[in-house]
Structure 1
Amino acid sequence: MVNKTAAKQLIEENISSNKVMVFSKSWCPYCKRAKDVIAGLYAQYATMELDQRDDEDTMQDVLLEMTGGRSVPRVFINGKFVGGCDETLKLHAKGMLIKLIQA
């Protein structure tokens, strides 16, 4: 079990070392949609499947503190939280998602 400090450090390391970082659950249809949209832009992204971790609840608690939400997906681009599935799809529909990724 990872404590909150270690969990936050791991989350922050993943966000800072990946242009696009998606915190996800492998079974979640909203996560799949967000990842499919990003992949459809031929953008490289990293993902952390929280349901495959022993510290899933701790990680989600830290994401809640960082983003105001515990639900997945939690999508970060260039170190900034852009939202979940709905926000990611809205950015894509406006042509803004690719611009954020390319920035």
Structure 2
Amino acid sequence: MDKVTRLASEKGVVLFSKSSCCMCYAVKILFQELGVTPTVHELDQDPEGWEMEKALMRLGCNGPVPAIFIGGKLVGSTNEVMSLHLSRGLMPMLKPYQTLC
């Protein structure tokens, strides 16, 4: 649990993902289109990935991936991020982390 909370708070936008997850890919593309480069932790490529999955579930994630943190706070999974985006609530959260084009 400590590793997950530490990693989630080290950067502005953090995505816990699996390389084969299509929903994780969709979130990565959304962030790319919004001008944000998240720090991505691929759990299936990390030796401690299974422990991190369990920690994410304990933190309240419905499924272990994708798990999105913005500003060190758990936003949720794909549904929560897409709902925020459609209700125009995501951009204000991401504004400090957008790269200048």
With the shorter chain as reference, the TM-score category is 0.7 to 0.9
Partner of 1:94: 87
1:61 and 1:70 in contact (8 A); partners too: no
String of CA shifts for 1:44-97, please: whole Å, max 9, x gaps.
210100011222221111111112434310001111111101111111112211
On the 8 A contact 1:50/1:59 being kept in 2, the answer is: yes
Q: Which runs of 5+ in 2 are unaligned?
A: 97-101
Equivalent residue, structure 2, for 1:66: 59
CA distance in 2: counterparts of 1:71 and 1:30, whole angstroms: 12
Q: Which residue of 2 aligns with 1:85?
A: 78
| 1:23 match: secondary structure | strand
Instruction: Kindly report structure 1 stretches of 4+ aligned residues shifted beyond 4 Å.
Output: none
Contact (CA 8 Å) 1:15, 1:21: kept in 2 or not? Answer: yes
Establish whether residue 26 from structure 1 lines up as the match of residue 33 from structure 2: no
Question: Residue 99 of structure 1: CA displacement?
Answer: 0.7
Which position in structure 2 is the counterpart of 1:52? 45
Sequence identity percentage: 29
Unaligned runs of 5+ in 1: 1-7
Alignment RMSD (CA, Å): 1.4
Distance 2:22 2:34 in 1: 19
Contact 1:25 1:31 (8 Å CA) reproduced: yes
Give the aligned residue type for 2:37: Q
- TM-score with structure 2 setting the length: 0.86
SS of the residue 1:21 aligns to: strand
Q: Which amino acid aligns with 2:58?
A: E
